[in-house]
Amino acid sequence: MFGPDAQETHAFAGGSRGTEQTPNIAARLGNPYDEWSPLWRGVARVSGGLPSVSDAQSPPWQALRGLGQFPPPEPGVIGPASRRIAHQGPRFDVQVDANGYAWWYIDAFSEDGQYGLTIIAFVGSVFSPYYKFSGRGDPENHCAINVAFTGPRSGAWAMTERPRQRVDRSATHFAVGPSALHWDGAALTIDIDEVSAPLPARVRGRVRVFPMMIGNTAFALDPAGLHRWHPISPRARVEVDMDSPNVRWNGDGYFDSNFGNEPLEAGFEDWHWSRAHLSRDVAVLYEGTRRNGDPFNLALRMDQQGNWEDVAPPPMAQLAHTGWMIDRKTRADAGHRPKVLRTWVDAPFYARSALATTMYGESVRAVHESLSLNRFRSPLVQMMLPYRMPRAFW
């Protein structure tokens, strides 16, 4: 029923793309087909499938912007060499209202596959017990930069939450305490100066992210547009120069952002996400269960010009449970069984892993995440979180 032979006519700004061989993504998402786009109401395009930027007061734009603080991208295809890249940057100054959140996410593999990293900068830290217990009235007072390194003699984890007086945000700069992210229009520089937990150790150094493609599309993950995802640079080059742990490497990376107007666990029960660099394109798989029980299922490929195409997802493939018994599953080509190369993060309610898999006819390495928000809501898990996520009160 969702195979590649399903035919639909897609209406796009500036004309019709015509009748194409394309998966029935509206049916996969469990939402009715809508006049704006086959992705709208489940996964909505900010450019392409929705009205043009000149029609920014139309209902779909308003829903995606929330309170007007989620600006639509500049129209047109933005190439990595363009001077207009700065307009497609991370926008660290986005307004985050009460109960809301924003985060900017980077991951990378080393060229030899031995090392990996994830860095996540949070406003209204979605997994913070302090933000939750405070009533989530002041997201700016609950910011953190999470740093996780993995590899031989280089494992490190840090995630210290800090109050608003230690936060400095602008469109191109985001500082939380002594660590900061800075976007100069061509690269993202991340200066890290943190202390790991629960065992204290210095985590200090610099990571630079050089986009190789810029995404010109953002997506809503729910019909009301309360949770939004923007892949900023799905393919990037990453340079790691750390003093502690003492490690230096280069590799391929990925950079995206998420925004929301309600707690993450209010919108979802769980999700499974993965990304993989194909020989020319980037593939992203995103699926799970919304809090109302409706499933969502998204498979996308991005070309070198930054254009996304919705494609049929490969068949489901089960992965081994984590040490915390988190269910992990992904998708892989028929007849191929993905393998967990390394579990980067094994937490009580989520796991991030490196996979060897095959999708769309190519053998690839993928970064994979499984998140259980039902587990996150558990009082026992909430009691455990401060040991890994301390809060500085200065």
Give the C-alpha separation, 6 to 73, whole Å: 30
Among 176, 157, 160, smallest CA distance to 168 is for: 176
Contact criterion met (CB below 8 Å) for 43 and 220 = yes
19, pLDDT greater than 50: no
> If you count DSSP H runs as helices and E runs as strands, how many of each does the chain have, helices first?
6, 24
Tokens (6 digits) for 327: 């269910």
Among 32, 62, 35, smallest CA distance to 46 is for: 62
Contact criterion met (CB below 8 Å) for 13 and 51 = yes
Tokens (6 digits) for 373: 């928000």
Mean pLDDT of 217-246: 93
Tell me: the pLDDT tens digits for 332-380? 999 999 999 999 999 999 999 999 999 999 999 999 999 999 999 999 9
Q: Which of 176-185, 260-269, 294-303 has the lowest mean pLDDT?
A: 294-303
Position 215 scores a pLDDT of: 84
Those residues whose C-beta lies under 8 Å from the C-beta of residue 129, and which sit 6 or more positions away, are 382, 385, 386, 389
Position 34 scores a pLDDT of: 30
Instruction: Please give the model's pTM, rounded to 2 decimal places.
Output: 0.80
Tell me: the pLDDT tens digits for 191-210? 999 999 999 999 999 999 99
Give the C-alpha separation, 232 to 189, whole Å: 15
Q: Which amino acid is at 286?
A: Y
Residue with tokens 């996969």: 28
276, pLDDT greater than 70: yes
Residues 89, 93, 94, 98, Cα dihedral to 10°: 150
57, pLDDT greater than 60: no
Per-residue confidence band for 88, with pLDDT thresholds at 50, 70 and 90 = low
Per-residue confidence band for 305, with pLDDT thresholds at 50, 70 and 90 = confident
Per-residue confidence band for 330, with pLDDT thresholds at 50, 70 and 90 = very high
Those residues whose C-beta lies under 8 Å from the C-beta of residue 102, and which sit 6 or more positions away, are 94, 96, 122, 123, 124, 139, 257, 258, 259, 260
Q: Which amino acid is at 237?
A: R
Contact criterion met (CB below 8 Å) for 360 and 301 = yes
Helix (H) or strand (E) holding 60: helix 59-65
Among 292, 298, 192, smallest CA distance to 245 is for: 192
Task: State percent of the chain over pLDDT 90.
Answer: 71
Give the C-alpha separation, 38 to 9, whole Å: 9
